[in-house]
Amino acid sequence: MVDLNPWLIALVLNTGLIVAAWLGLKKLLTPAGWLHAWVLGVLIWGLLGWQGYGVVVFYFLVGSGVTRVGLAEKEAVGIAEKRSGARGPENVWGSAATATLCALGTLILPSTLHPLLVLGYVASFSTKLSDTTASEIGKAYGRRTYLVTTFKLVPPGTEGAISLEGTLAGVVASLAIAVLAWGMDLISLLGIALCVGAALIATHLESIIGATLQPRWSWLTNEWVNVINTLIGAIAAMTAQALLWGGLIP
């Protein structure tokens, strides 16, 4: 029988937090975005408890914060996020679809796979926070921005562009959320390294997709690229962990 207590807590607590956040932080999400964030929050608390919820809240707060770094300057040159960074439903699920699938996996897959799924959950948010931070810090403070496929100088905000400042900021962001997850006993010390490494790989592959495929395929929006990016990060971390379990680590 399913224990309903975590779900009741999720419904009551998440409703209160979302209402309070909407009243005080309206500009972070659109009205529809807050509704979808409520659904996400209930699912994550119900499936992964307060620890899993803590990871998504950390991502949301830090990701929203870095989006506003240098916002006026980015808006002036037309490279800021739409709606001044306010997230809608498409942004919520573009960022969290992979993590949600990993969390749902703990409901239907054997318990022996749960540590792997939780690692994938953390790695997906580590990847997304790294990508968001790298992009926003790169646009605000990147001195030289290069196209990832040719390493030619391009204007900040160009799809597929990377900068040293943005890349370093992205690594710090992925490390921060992974350390948080470790501190809440979601992943191991090794998991921190796997999350950071997976995030670095995924964000660079995402830049390649942005530079090559996104301009050609109209359906490949930023939200779909985010789904692909987080999926790569989760798969990379889980695959590395599975290989280690089967080889070097019992």
Task: Name the residue ranges covered by the structural domains of the chain.
Answer: 50-246
**What phi and psi, each to the nearest 5 degrees, are found at residue 153?**
-65, 135
The answer to whether the beta carbons of residues 146 and 175 sit under 8 Å apart is no
CB 139 within 8 A of CB 68: no
CB of 96 closer than 8 Å to CB of 56: yes
Evaluated on CA atoms 211, 162, 67, 89, the torsion sign reads: positive
Distance (Å, whole) CA 72 – CA 16:
32
158-206 tens-digit pLDDT = 777 888 889 999 999 999 999 999 999 999 999 999 999 999 999 999 9
Could you tell me if 203 and 211 are in contact, meaning their C-beta atoms sit under 8 angstroms apart? no
CB neighbours (10 Å) of residue 47? Answer: 22
Among the ranges given (50-54, 101-105, 147-151, 170-174), the one the predictor scored with the smallest mean pLDDT = 147-151
Predicted TM-score (pTM) of the model is 0.88
Using one digit for the tens of pLDDT, what is the confidence trace for 39-51? 999 999 999 999 9
- State the first-to-last Cα distance of the chain, in angstroms, to the nearest integer: 32
All residues at 6 or more sequence positions from 234 whose CB lies less than 8 Å from its CB, including other chains: 98, 99, 102, 120, 121, 123, 124, 127, 198
Percent of the chain with pLDDT over 70: 89
What residue type is 232 in one-letter code? I
Tell me what pLDDT residue 107 has.
93
Residue type at 149 in one-letter notation: T
Residue 31 sits at the vertex; the CA angle it makes with 26 and 34, to the nearest 5 degrees, is: 80
Nearest to 98 by CA among 129, 68, 77, 76: 129
What are the φ/ψ torsions at residue 87 (nearest 5 degrees)?
-90, 140
Which one, of 137, 134, 138, 139, lies nearest residue 229 by Cα? 134
Q: What average pLDDT does range 99-126 have in this prediction? A: 96
Size of the chain in residues: 250
pLDDT tens, position by position, 58-97: 999 899 888 877 665 655 555 555 555 567 888 899 999 9
Assess contact for 106 and 118: CB atoms under 8 A.
Answer: yes
Joined together, the tokens standing for residue 227 give 């789904």
- The closest alpha carbon to 123, from 190, 218, 25, belongs to 190
